Chains A and B, each alone.
Chain A
């Protein structure tokens, strides 16, 4: 939990202009918020989040402190007054007795404000306070203030406040904040225009959650739990979101108020087996990429994954901190390593194994190189073999590649009933996926497979034909006609969600006037299933209306929704 600002942590500063600034809070340094002020970092370290401070550039004006805490009551009082509420000037009170103020007399050329730009600049230079006087001056100098309606006055004050108030709110760094920051303040394309609500949906549909403490209730843990396969081309945002759900994103998660340090150091060996003894510690000590449970395998298209956004959560991908939970729980595998491991040099070429005598004879620098190379090879072997063995509990995809090509190679790696969730900023790649897993295609696939099975049986009458029921025989013709095996995914569904925010004020509730356009964003989800190889027919009636028409059962997948009728 984020309870207070820790030293050397990234935190977000929400500014009066609604912009967000993310900075690392280094002790004994200054924090620069541009025109909104400058203050020493030590004045916010240790303080709780979500507090709003007013900045005084000259500390002597505020008991020797640059920051003044603004209470919630003060904040709300200001908002309510600024919004023309609370002081008896309720909008509906204007109804009968008082003449309704309108904007009829307002001149739209900006001549009403008597202060010139130069004068305002001079004011800003003079004042060291938090901007309050400037706003008061500006309002004072407005010649037509009394002609404004309560609403327009409120809006005017608010606008000036956003421009001149020197204050900020400290907000903890989390996935939601980072998403909005990237969307609004940074380059939305870098995170594939992934929105908050879609991240939530993605994680839910992929059923990503903490795996529990399997070493403790080991009786049921017949296999490692909570292993998720992630394809993330958003620079690490999706990995961060999933890690957040799995409780492995924040280095200080679950710690109390007092700082606890040095408890999570990592043994130097590459042996990840010893976790039984260390189960009591918060993050069992594991070597790099060696956690068996509650882990993410990230498949990446280039030689190195791009996880640059993880730096905001204290994880530097080039030089990962050993105490960070992702150090052990995030495993990276390239597509080449997954599909053609023998062509990957690191995986395939085992460094020469030296005896202890030989090692002792090496120079110390060479010795450390030897250990490093050995460890890297062992790690790569373990991680790649684990990924290739499959049995994952969920698949999360946000890729720039064709999603169907990703599914073709990853769906077989999932365990039965494991969910698949794919994000795409635009719909076309996902309609293609839906089409390739359509009911009509499933039916055709099953029919063709049965035909081929019969043919093969006839061809090799002498051979043992019972094998066909037990395992999936490979038919090249089938693979040629069908890019993916459509029977592996159940209930493919495509959906989208969008959040719309509203302004809520008495008598003035309405949706926000503007928002962000861009990609709509879609989620495809389905469940991995283990189809039987028996020849089976769908039963039942696709829908009540067609009960009379549909007398002959067709070999269909009845489970995928309303379009069974497409078969005939």
Chain B
């Protein structure tokens, strides 16, 4: 089965992962099914319920990716919940309840207004789900999974390696199509998915289907692969399950193993069918890149050396090979939240001959952009800051208030002079009303150039940006290093024979760009003189 992560095709196929996008950072992963595989007893077959409505899978599969899907009228009512209860034997206190969900469907239908017809339909629906009826509101978008969307929606088992980290790590580790990557600490599988996308260059099963092109010995094509190690049995099996569901079998190999003790060689029986060396009981993953998301990376480092003998032969795998690709440099990244861990790791790396050791952290922030309504005329508008926009506006407003107060005082004085009790309210109203008119004129005068009244609300206010309120200020320390190929005296000798050390054809003396420029400049200056 092709993976929807790597080759999604045009439309959502059955029995493969699809992401139901509700809103940003809220995505529901689901395996699209034609039938109700969980036995929840909806009339429409398998249904996803969200806060934006219910979506029977029959409205989702075979739709083009990216489609906006309208919610359906599904009788969620008590049905879904009660069936869940029935599954648990202790909750079975309903008098009418029957043990199997299929009969429960019939029963629920019987409670409907037209029981006879419904019941007949229900019997048919055992085979064929009811056609979905569009609801008046609610929708979602059907997206194919990408490592980014998956990272945002995956079920958390451990700390997740997020996109800003893994994108940089994979870039720095030079993980490219055809690479072999070791990942230790599969965790929640976010890095696994990103890594398999990076190494993917074809499904390994293609090799068997290869057409008749045997006229030339087919170039040995190396397929990219991720070797994932996890010491937590439950997590390992969960990751393995996900890999199968996501169509990544053969591209990712999950091994349940304590890598501190047992290293990174693959047991032959669990290893894929790729050519294994006959004598050894285990094969090497021939890694080009290593990512260690472990509490103590320095303990795993001793299994990642070039020398075959240095590994402890007493261990279960009896490693006599190196887990690294002997023909390429090997890049490593360790991911540790604490500084002390990184320091120990780096010290171990120095002892083991890793080069170009560098520690970095990735600071990432998301930025929110919105229109900020700001000004006196937004009085009453939601989310607006009612405050003068300029000093002029502030002065105008205060002046208005002063004016109003003055008029009020005058009115009071007048009243006192006349001794007329009755006209107090009138006078006050008069004064205030005049003031309001003045105030409006003042505010309008200041805000004139914006002409906000005629502008649609989505254009009102000032466009501003700020960092989003939830900020991840630290994820982990990333330690990068590289281990060059082994280079022996014999290799050097061979190279010296092939490329005679002192053979230099003098006339093609290359000059650096800067040198050329300098010479050019000097020449011109001379000409000037």
B72–chain A nearest beta-carbon distance, Å: 12
The answer to whether B140 touches A49, judged by C-beta atoms less than 8 angstroms apart, is no
**Interface check A36, CB cutoff 8 A:** no
A33–chain B nearest beta-carbon distance, Å: 9
B505 to A, closest residue via Cβ: A28
**Chain A interface: which of B118-126, B391-399, B507-515?**
B507-515
The answer to whether A216 touches B209, judged by C-beta atoms less than 8 angstroms apart, is yes
**Interface check B457, CB cutoff 8 A:** yes
A201 to B371, CA, bound (A): 27
A217–chain B nearest beta-carbon distance, Å: 6
26 of the cross-chain contacts (CB-CB < 8 Å) are A26-B508, A29-B505, A29-B508, A45-B495, A51-B487, A66-B501, A169-B355, A197-B362, A212-B2, A212-B6, A216-B206, A415-B66, A417-B65, A431-B464, A438-B458, A494-B465, A497-B363, A499-B360, A499-B363, A506-B343, A530-B66, A532-B67, A532-B139, A537-B138, A539-B138, A559-B141
User: Of B327, B363, B368, which is within 8 A of A498 by CB?
Assistant: B363
Q: Which residues of A contact B504 (CB under 8 A)?
A: 28-30, 40, 42
Contact (A30, B509) CB under 8 Å given A200-B171, A212-B6, A490-B141: yes
The answer to whether B213 touches A417, judged by C-beta atoms less than 8 angstroms apart, is no
Q: Which residues 495-529 of B have a CB within 8 angstroms of A? A: 495, 498-505, 508-512
Q: A504-B343, A565-B383 are in contact. List 20 more A-B contacts (CB 8 A).
A: A1-B288, A2-B329, A3-B329, A42-B501, A46-B499, A197-B168, A213-B201, A216-B206, A217-B209, A279-B211, A416-B10, A493-B24, A494-B369, A496-B365, A499-B362, A501-B359, A531-B68, A537-B136, A538-B139, A562-B23
Q: Which residues of A contact B354 (CB under 8 A)?
A: 72
Q: Which residues of A contact B366 (CB under 8 A)?
A: 493-495
The answer to whether A277 touches B213, judged by C-beta atoms less than 8 angstroms apart, is yes
B371–chain A nearest beta-carbon distance, Å: 7
B60–chain A nearest beta-carbon distance, Å: 13
Contact (A1, B328) CB under 8 Å given A40-B501, A200-B170, A491-B23: yes
**Interface check B484, CB cutoff 8 A:** yes
A427–chain B nearest beta-carbon distance, Å: 6
**Interface check A232, CB cutoff 8 A:** no
The answer to whether A540 touches B53, judged by C-beta atoms less than 8 angstroms apart, is yes
**Interface check B48, CB cutoff 8 A:** no
**Interface check B200, CB cutoff 8 A:** yes
**Interface check A287, CB cutoff 8 A:** no
The answer to whether A223 touches B10, judged by C-beta atoms less than 8 angstroms apart, is yes
The answer to whether B360 touches A560, judged by C-beta atoms less than 8 angstroms apart, is no
Contact (A204, B147) CB under 8 Å given A46-B498, A493-B24: yes
Contact (A280, B6) CB under 8 Å given A245-B198, A493-B366: no
A288 to B10, CA, bound (A): 27
**Chain B interface: which of A143-151, A246-254, A395-403?**
A246-254
User: Of B7, B216, B500, which is within 8 A of A211 by CB?
Assistant: B7
Q: Which residues 7-37 of B have a CB within 8 angstroms of A? A: 7-10, 21-25
Q: Which residues 432-470 of A have a CB within 8 angstroms of B? A: 432, 434-435, 438, 440-441, 443-444
Q: Which residues of A contact B371 (CB under 8 A)?
A: 435, 438, 440
B509–chain A nearest beta-carbon distance, Å: 7
The answer to whether B66 touches A528, judged by C-beta atoms less than 8 angstroms apart, is yes
**Interface check A163, CB cutoff 8 A:** no
Q: Which residues of B contact A260 (CB under 8 A)?
A: 219
5 closest A-B pairs (Cβ-Cβ)? A416-B66, A539-B138, A247-B177, A200-B171, A537-B137
User: Of A210, A417, A532, which is within 8 A of B8 by CB?
Assistant: A417
A497 to B367, CA, bound (A): 11
The answer to whether A532 touches B213, judged by C-beta atoms less than 8 angstroms apart, is no
Give a binary string over B79-98; 1 marks a CB under 8 Å from any A CB, 0 the rest.
00000000000000000000
A45 to B136, CA, bound (A): 70
B352 to A, closest residue via Cβ: A72
**Chain B interface: which of A73-81, A113-121, A303-311?**
A73-81
User: Of B144, B178, B484, which is within 8 A of A254 by CB?
Assistant: B178
A494 to B, closest residue via Cβ: B367
A504 to B348, CA, bound (A): 13
**Interface check A527, CB cutoff 8 A:** yes
Contact (A568, B382) CB under 8 Å given A204-B147, A435-B371, A498-B363: yes
Q: Which residues of A contact B138 (CB under 8 A)?
A: 536-540, 558
A394 to B213, CA, bound (A): 32
Q: Which residues of B contact A267 (CB under 8 A)?
A: none
B185–chain A nearest beta-carbon distance, Å: 20
The answer to whether B23 touches A558, judged by C-beta atoms less than 8 angstroms apart, is yes
Q: Which residues 120-179 of B have a CB within 8 angstroms of A? A: 134-144, 146-148, 163-164, 166-168, 170-172, 174, 176-179
The answer to whether B52 touches A530, judged by C-beta atoms less than 8 angstroms apart, is no
**Interface check A220, CB cutoff 8 A:** yes
A495 to B, closest residue via Cβ: B366
A324–chain B nearest beta-carbon distance, Å: 16
A86 to B, closest residue via Cβ: B350
**Interface check B440, CB cutoff 8 A:** no
The answer to whether B346 touches A504, judged by C-beta atoms less than 8 angstroms apart, is yes
The answer to whether A529 touches B68, judged by C-beta atoms less than 8 angstroms apart, is yes
The answer to whether A246 touches B503, judged by C-beta atoms less than 8 angstroms apart, is no
A527 to B144, CA, bound (A): 10
A393 to B, closest residue via Cβ: B8
A51 to B362, CA, bound (A): 28
User: Of B67, B167, B499, which is within 8 A of A529 by CB?
Assistant: B67
User: Of A4, A28, A417, which is within 8 A of B143 by CB?
Assistant: A417
A558 to B51, CA, bound (A): 11
Q: Which residues of A contact B134 (CB under 8 A)?
A: 534
A542 to B483, CA, bound (A): 51
The answer to whether A499 touches B168, judged by C-beta atoms less than 8 angstroms apart, is yes
A281 to B215, CA, bound (A): 11
The answer to whether A196 touches B24, judged by C-beta atoms less than 8 angstroms apart, is no
A349 to B502, CA, bound (A): 56
**Interface check A474, CB cutoff 8 A:** no
The answer to whether B168 touches A497, judged by C-beta atoms less than 8 angstroms apart, is yes
**Interface check A418, CB cutoff 8 A:** yes
User: Of A196, A254, A530, A538, which is within 8 A of B168 by CB?
Assistant: A196
A50 to B, closest residue via Cβ: B484
A43 to B, closest residue via Cβ: B501
The answer to whether A527 touches B509, judged by C-beta atoms less than 8 angstroms apart, is no
The answer to whether A500 touches B213, judged by C-beta atoms less than 8 angstroms apart, is no
A449–chain B nearest beta-carbon distance, Å: 14
Contact (A256, B327) CB under 8 Å given A50-B484, A528-B66: yes
Give a binary string over A419-436; 1 marks a CB under 8 Å from any B CB, 0 the rest.
100000001000110110
The answer to whether A50 touches B171, judged by C-beta atoms less than 8 angstroms apart, is no
**Interface check B309, CB cutoff 8 A:** no
A385 to B200, CA, bound (A): 29
Give a binary string over A217-253; 1 marks a CB under 8 Å from any B CB, 0 the rest.
1001111010000000000000000001111000001
Q: Which residues of B contact A207 (CB under 8 A)?
A: 146-148, 197
Q: Which residues of A contact B499 (CB under 8 A)?
A: 27, 42-43, 45-46
**Interface check B418, CB cutoff 8 A:** no
Q: Which residues of B contact A152 (CB under 8 A)?
A: none
Contact (A558, B22) CB under 8 Å given A256-B327, A280-B213: yes
The answer to whether A498 touches B362, judged by C-beta atoms less than 8 angstroms apart, is yes
The answer to whether B383 touches A566, judged by C-beta atoms less than 8 angstroms apart, is yes
User: Of A245, A438, A500, which is within 8 A of B363 by CB?
Assistant: A500
The answer to whether B370 touches A563, judged by C-beta atoms less than 8 angstroms apart, is yes
Contact (A559, B24) CB under 8 Å given A213-B206, A216-B210, A253-B178: yes
Contact (A558, B139) CB under 8 Å given A46-B499, A280-B211: yes
B495–chain A nearest beta-carbon distance, Å: 4
Q: Which residues of B contact A42 (CB under 8 A)?
A: 499-504
Contact (A539, B71) CB under 8 Å given A48-B487, A277-B213: yes
Q: Which residues of A contact B492 (CB under 8 A)?
A: 47, 69
The answer to whether A532 touches B342, judged by C-beta atoms less than 8 angstroms apart, is no
**Interface check A553, CB cutoff 8 A:** yes
A499 to B465, CA, bound (A): 22
Q: Which residues of B contact A373 (CB under 8 A)?
A: none
User: Of B23, B144, B362, B483, which is within 8 A of A561 by CB?
Assistant: B23
